[in-house]
Amino acid sequence: MYFRNEVKEIRELWKGIRDKWDSFWIGDEYDNSKKHLSQSDKRFLLYGNFISGIFIVALVLLIIGFNNLRVSHQNMDDMKLIMEMTKSYMGSATEDEYDKIVQTIRNDLVFSDYSKGLQKYAKYIPNASEKCHTCKGSSAAQAILVSLNTGNSYDLDLIGKETEEELGGVKVAFGYDEISQTRIRMIKSPKRKEGSVEIERGSGIVSLHRMKSLFCDRCIEDILKAIEGQEMEEFVIFDTEKIIFYPIKHGDKIRIENDMLEVAYKNGDCEIEITFVDRAK
Ligand SMILES: [Zn+2]
């Protein structure tokens, strides 16, 4: 009973809506007695609103498109200006000035930008390394100091595979990285079971391009994670057995197998003291 009443009410409501709708569309454009809007007026209003809606959407799209075009044009103009400026500087520079300008561009444009996030830039440079200097390196030592600009490594192990007779004497090694202008001096005395590495620092520049030609992408990712934001970014200590990279951080003590490496910075330069730690102890 209740349900029937519901259906009746809905039917009446629907009939009411249809009556209103039909009377709205009565063809009365020639009937002067009618005071309300004629059918053609209603149609005109409905279609008119639809057309103006479309027109507004099109206009908005056009404005957005025009703005994008304006911005990219502005960027192109800025880029052109920078290129022209660089060209003018380079063209008018003398030999000495040229070096200075190159240095400035390197420091301001390359290095300052790189320091914001080497990892971010690493993704966009293709890898050109044939044989990775760290994970596929030929060093017999377990602890090595690696120059990221040259790929050169310096054995930090105090006692390697030498026999007892070979342990006498002092081992000396030198190195130079021309990109970061860093000098390396290493003295080791296996007999006294001690040694040290002095890293005389220069500009501190790290070339990601050089890294991409020296190390594999996996190593680069691990190296960058280790060094980024550290005091020294141009060198890293590497455990060749465990494949772990360590940053060269002031006050750090790194134990790799039988070697204890103690890092200390003095006046901007760095010294790594190596002492022998017996595995049994
Ligand atoms: Zn590698």
Tokens of 71: 């911005």
Distance between Cα 221 and ligand 1 center (Å): 9
Helix (H) or strand (E) holding 41: helix 39-92
Which pLDDT value is given to residue 77?
83
Ligand 1 centroid to 222 CA: how many Å? 9
Of 239 and 118, more confident: 239
136: CA distance to ligand 1 center in Å? 6
Whether residue 196 is predicted with pLDDT greater than 90 in this model: the reply is: yes
Q: Is the pLDDT of residue 198 over 60?
A: yes
Range with lowest mean pLDDT among 28-32, 64-68, 166-170, 271-275: 28-32
Tell how far the Cα of 120 is from the centroid of ligand 1, in angstroms.
19
Cα–ligand 1 centroid distance for 234 (angstroms): 17
Residue 114 has pLDDT above 60, yes or no: no
**271/200 Cα distance (integer angstroms):** 9
Bigger pLDDT: 24 vs 56: 56
Q: Which two tokens stand for residue 215?
A: 């190390």
Lowest-confidence segment of 17-21, 27-31, 125-129, 263-267 by average pLDDT: 27-31
SS3 142: coil
Q: Per residue in 149-193, pLDDT tens?
A: 999 999 999 876 655 556 678 889 999 999 999 999 999 998 888
206 C-alpha to ligand 1 centroid (Å): 18
- Measured in Å, residue 216 CA sits from the centre of ligand 1 at 4
Assess whether pLDDT exceeds 80 at residue 89: no
Element (H, E) at 263: strand 259-266
Between 132 and 64, where is the model more confident?
132
Q: Give the Å distance between the CA of 111 and the centre of ligand 1.
A: 24
Confidence (pLDDT) at 213? 93
Instruction: Identify the weakest region by mean pLDDT among 56-70, 125-139, 172-186.
Output: 56-70
Distance 123 CA to ligand 1 centre (A): 16
**pTM score > 0.75 for this model?**
no
- The stretch 16-34 carries a mean pLDDT of 74
* Contact between residue 260 and residue 275 where contact means Cβ atoms under 8 Å apart: yes
Q: Could you tell me the distance, in angstroms and rounded to a whole number, from the CA of residue 257 to the centre of ligand 1? A: 21
